[in-house]
Structure 1
Amino acid sequence: MKLGLALPTFGPDANPEGLLRVCRSAEDLGYDSLWTGDRVLAPLVPGARYPSADGKMPRAYENHMDPLVALTFAASHTTRVHLGTSTLNGLWQPPLMLARSLTTLDLLSQGRLVVGLGLGWMPDEYTAVSVPWQGRGARLDETLEVLEKYWANDVFSHEGPLFTIPETVVGLKPCRRPGPPVLLAAFSARGLRRIGRRYDGWLPVALPLPRLLGMWEVVLTAAGEAGRDPSALRMALRVNPELTDTRTDPEQMPRAGTLDQYIDYARAAAEAGVHELFVDFGQTAALAERDDLAGRFLEGVRRG
């Protein structure tokens, strides 16, 4: 199983020094990937509950970086690790602009980009960027269609329900052909089936492993029904640890626990067939602590 770290693109450490420190730690320690998320708004009173136990949006989101610009910075300060979005809201800009940005980043990183798309949870952000909240699934499907055409063809056009692109020459091509892998964050049965039918994999957040694997089976079944090879799909699991000083009840994992409990969780995930797992120590740890935590976590998981 590959292991990754989240870049500090949220909160007080979202600055050049913070990004550079985590980039260097990831490559020096031997991590496989770096990941960043996406926010455009931090309303004083969000129009929807945050998807967590207490329903409160983390204060760290009040300070947020552009994820693709941050990954471009990371690409220039690394040579080996893959660079992923977990997740990028692919509906907040026209798909042609998104295709150009992703292709540019894939080229600049020499083929290290992993595109993780999501739909977000807060209608306020859609209002802020003048994109309708309703019909997100259909908009996502058409966006993916444009990305695929852009990457696969030297000349293409698109005429769809939402977007019209006149015939154009596309000289810019990604390093990896036909394009970088595209993963989707989804949790509804409909979203999981969408992954199996069209995407390269799944971007879940940490859940009890039996529940996680049950949802993964929905993805694999949908892939088989669509005539795709289920074994070609991959799962990249995000873990947002809430670290405690003493061991928590097993029922609280992976919501909260000690570092050793998260190491055990990661080992079990690897045995269960999870392809990649990445952790965001910025949820509960200051930048100065991240190197130590990242080193101990990697050593513990690899030792197992």
Structure 2
Amino acid sequence: MRFTYAEAMTDPSYHLPLARAAEAAGYTSMAVADSLIYPKESDATYPYTADGSREFLEDKSFIETFTLIAAMGAVTSTIRFTPFVLKLAVRPPVLVAKQASSIAHLTGNRLGLGVGLSPWPEDFTAMGVPWARRGKRMDEAIEILRGLTGGGYFEYHGECYDLPPVKMSPVPTEPIPILVGGHSEPALRRAARLGDGWMHGGGGPEELDALLTRLAALRAEEGTADRPFEIHAISLDAYSVDGVKRLADKGVTDLIVGFRMPYIKGPDTEPLAKKIEKLERFAESVIAKVGP
């Protein structure tokens, strides 16, 4: 089992020392949140809070995802960075491919590219991208990412994007894992068909079990069940050795753990030293006892 440390919406100056501390403590990866704008008015709801409220996001600090990964990558040597998740559907896929290739090259293949849609129509408006057919745009963007980051000339002729033969340099020496986030049926099918893995957004154990069951069925339908596949999950079972073993038996490969409730209004007042103490305590009590 591998462990991903998650911390977001905190003092931006904390990210680099936290990355160093997580690496030293034995975490495999660090999750990196993605946010572009906070609209003054919106009818949309946040999919991962019980009441759909979004107000906790206001005035929270989000360093641009690839910029933050580059900074953390420069002060570490082994830990991987995983956007959780990059709002791919609102971004130009060629630019994302260039950014991802550059990050993977500079960090020695330490990028796991978590991708998803955005729940905010305002993100699409602000980026000049249609809200309609966002799922199709997402599918094509994943295919373009995979093609351009693989090296050599690549061309693509889809319904949303049309790309003549082009290539990029440098590209990473290993394929960038593309991990698809989302709980909806289209998201699960997208992960099964196009992804190298799936990222779970949280919820109760019964919901996770149902999602894992459905994902396995879709992978069988898509003929990808035998392909290497990462499953990144959030679960209370992650905080005990026995619970980790139960999740491993269900096919989970990576556990995302955090030690603070992020969905609260106002600034994060927890000191850096306390955050490091918590991540180290978990590493000693769980990671060290579970093993690779």
1:79-90 pair list within 5 angstroms = 79-90=77-88
CA RMSD of aligned residues (A): 2.2
More moved, 223-232 vs 155-164: 223-232
Residue 4 of structure 1: SS of its match in structure 2?
Answer: strand
Q: Corresponding residue for 1:108?
A: 106
Please report how far the alpha carbon of residue 65 of structure 1 lies from its aligned counterpart in structure 2 after TM superposition. Answer: 1.0
Selected match of 1:291 from 267, 276, 282? 276
Q: Corresponding residue for 2:239?
A: 263
Q: Corresponding residue for 1:226?
A: 222
Q: Describe the superposition over 1:15-43 as per-residue Cα deviations: whole angstroms up to 9, x where unpaired.
A: xx311220121012111111101111112
- Measure, in 1, the Cα distance between the counterparts of 2:275 and 2:226: 36
Is the 8 Å Cα contact of residues 192 and 215 (structure 2) preserved in structure 1?
A: yes
Residue 134 of structure 1: SS of its match in structure 2?
Answer: coil
Q: Within the alignment, does 1:77 sit opposite 2:75 as a pair?
A: yes
1:198-277 pair list within 5 angstroms = 198-230=194-226, 232-238=228-234, 254=236, 263-264=239-240, 266=244, 268-277=246-255
Q: Corresponding residue for 1:59?
A: 56
Is the 8 Å Cα contact of residues 90 and 118 (structure 2) preserved in structure 1?
A: no
Q: Corresponding residue for 2:29?
A: 33
Please report how far the alpha carbon of residue 149 of structure 1 lies from its aligned counterpart in structure 2 after TM superposition. Answer: 1.7
Q: How many equivalent pairs are there?
A: 278
Normalised to the residue count of structure 1, the TM-score between the two structures is 0.84
- Measure, in 1, the Cα distance between the counterparts of 2:38 and 2:55: 9
More moved, 65-74 vs 161-170: 161-170
Task: Give unmatched runs, 5+ long, in structure 1.
Answer: 240-253, 255-260
- Measure, in 1, the Cα distance between the counterparts of 2:21 and 2:79: 11
1:167-178 pair list within 5 angstroms = 167-176=165-174
Is the 8 Å Cα contact of residues 47 and 124 (structure 1) preserved in structure 2?
A: no
Higher relative CO (CA 8 A, sep ≥ 6), structure 1 or 2? 2
Please report how far the alpha carbon of residue 203 of structure 1 lies from its aligned counterpart in structure 2 after TM superposition. Answer: 0.3
Q: Return structure 1 stretches of 4+ with deviation > 6 angstroms.
A: none
Q: Within the alignment, does 1:4 sit opposite 2:4 as a pair?
A: yes
Task: Give unmatched runs, 5+ long, in structure 2.
Answer: 263-267
Instruction: Give the 3 Å change call, closer, same or farther, for CA 184–105 of structure 1 in structure 2.
Output: same
Please report how far the alpha carbon of residue 267 of structure 1 lies from its aligned counterpart in structure 2 after TM superposition. Answer: 5.4
Please report how far the alpha carbon of residue 152 of structure 1 lies from its aligned counterpart in structure 2 after TM superposition. Answer: 3.1
Aligned-pair identity in percent equals 26
Q: Describe the superposition over 1:82-132 as per-residue Cα deviations: whole angstroms up to 9, x where unpaired.
A: 111100011222111111110000001101110000102111111111111
Is the 8 Å Cα contact of residues 118 and 186 (structure 1) preserved in structure 2?
A: yes
Instruction: Give the 3 Å change call, closer, same or farther, for CA 30–152 of structure 1 in structure 2.
Output: closer
Normalised to the residue count of structure 2, the TM-score between the two structures is 0.87
- Measure, in 2, the Cα distance between the counterparts of 1:267 and 1:57: 34
Please report how far the alpha carbon of residue 69 of structure 1 lies from its aligned counterpart in structure 2 after TM superposition. Answer: 0.6
